[in-house]
């Protein structure tokens, strides 16, 4: 009995020793865990500090970069501003130069135009008088140079033939046949029942001009009468007036009109408007 109790006591003592051993080991492990946890916590704090430092570094770098960008922008703005200022100065100089040029041209024009206009009017009146003062082709003297050149032909033409041609030319004028745009030397010779040589001789002798000049003057004179006496003609375009007079083109009409009157058709119409068509024959 006592031996059995002694064995039980030994078992309990062994169990106690084991408990103490395990408790000591457990305490050691717990202390290590505490140290490890503290280390882990400390490392986490360090990582957070490192993260904060990195954030600060990033902000500083961004600020530096932004500062450089602002400096570059200011330099670019300054250069652009200088370029814009130079460009404005250049444009202003060009505008001033153009304005001065226009003023000079305008001054010259307003001085020159009245003088030239008056000169053109005088020239026109002289030509107009020469035409309307001798409306018939029968009374214009032949220049000596033409007379000597035609003396040979004159001997071969009878006075009856010449008079017949003059009569046909008068009819030609009265019927306004010269405004036919198909008019030609051959057409007129056929109408006058003669040949081109005789026709040229009579027109040179009596009107002191060639056939083309004779026809052109009749056409211009026709348009002048229309412009003076028929109001709607002043509203016609140059192309219409050209066609009405029998010319092949507006340019040809304008050239002949100016050669005959000293004015372009537009200038003549303006002159008529200014004068109110008074004194139709400029006398």
Q: What are the b/e assignments for 194-205, b being 16+ CB within 10 Å? A: beeebbbbbbbb
Tell whether 123 and 256 lie within a shared domain: yes
- Encode pLDDT of 189-233 as tens digits: 999 999 999 999 999 999 999 999 999 999 999 999 999 999 999
The two counts, helices (H) then strands (E), for the chain are: 9, 0
Tell whether 172 and 198 lie within a shared domain: yes
pLDDT at 47: 66
Q: Of the candidates 188, 209, 230, which is a domain's last residue?
A: 209
Tell whether 144 and 271 lie within a shared domain: no
CB-based contacts of 133, cutoff 8 Å, min separation 6? none
What is d(CA 58, CA 186) in angstroms, rounded to the nearest whole number? 104
Tell whether 153 and 267 lie within a shared domain: no
| Look-up of token digits 């004194």 | 279
Tell whether 176 and 280 lie within a shared domain: no
Domain range for 182: 138-209
Q: Are 261 and 195 within 8 A, CB to CB?
A: no
Point out the least confidently predicted range of 30-34, 46-50, 127-131, 146-150.
Answer: 146-150
Tell whether 122 and 251 lie within a shared domain: yes
pLDDT at 197: 92
- Report how many domains make up the chain: 2
Tell whether 119 and 185 lie within a shared domain: no
- Encode pLDDT of 113-142 as tens digits: 666 656 666 666 665 555 454 434 333 444
pLDDT at 283: 33
Q: Are 204 and 150 within 8 A, CB to CB?
A: yes
pLDDT band at 78, cuts 50/70/90?
confident
pLDDT at 1 over 60: yes
pTM, whole model, 2 decimals?
Answer: 0.50
Q: Of the candidates 185, 209, 233, which is a domain's last residue?
A: 209
């Amino acid at each position: 009995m006592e031996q059995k109790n002694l064995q039980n006591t030994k078992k309990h003592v062994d169990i106690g020793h084991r408990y103490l051993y395990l408790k000591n080991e457990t305490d050691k492990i717990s202390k290590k865990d505490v140290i490890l946890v503290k280390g882990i916590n400390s490392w986490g704090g360090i990582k957070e500090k490192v993260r904060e430092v990195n954030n600060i570094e990033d902000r500083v770098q961004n600020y530096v970069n932004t500062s450089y960008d602002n400096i570059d922008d200011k330099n670019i703005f300054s250069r652009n501003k200088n370029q814009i200022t130079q460009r404005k100065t250049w444009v202003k100089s060009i505008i001033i130069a153009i304005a001065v040029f226009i003023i000079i041209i305008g001054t010259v024009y307003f001085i020159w135009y009245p003088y030239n206009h008056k000169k053109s009017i005088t020239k026109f009146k002289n030509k107009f008088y020469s035409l309307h003062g001798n409306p018939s082709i029968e009374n214009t003297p032949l220049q000596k140079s033409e007379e000597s050149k035609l003396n040979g032909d004159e001997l071969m033409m009878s006075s009856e033939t010449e008079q017949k041609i003059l009569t046909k030319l008068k009819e030609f004028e009265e019927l306004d046949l010269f405004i036919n745009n198909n008019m030609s030397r051959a057409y007129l010779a056929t109408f006058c029942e003669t040949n081109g040589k005789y026709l040229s001789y009579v027109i040179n002798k009596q009107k002191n001009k060639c056939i083309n000049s004779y026809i052109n003057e009749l056409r211009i004179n026709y348009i002048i009468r229309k412009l003076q006496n028929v109001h709607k003609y002043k509203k016609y375009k140059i192309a219409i007036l050209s066609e009405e007079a029998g010319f092949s083109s507006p340019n040809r009409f304008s050239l002949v009109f100016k050669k005959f009157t000293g004015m372009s058709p537009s200038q003549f119409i303006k002159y008529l408007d200014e004068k109110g068509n008074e004194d139709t024959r400029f006398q």
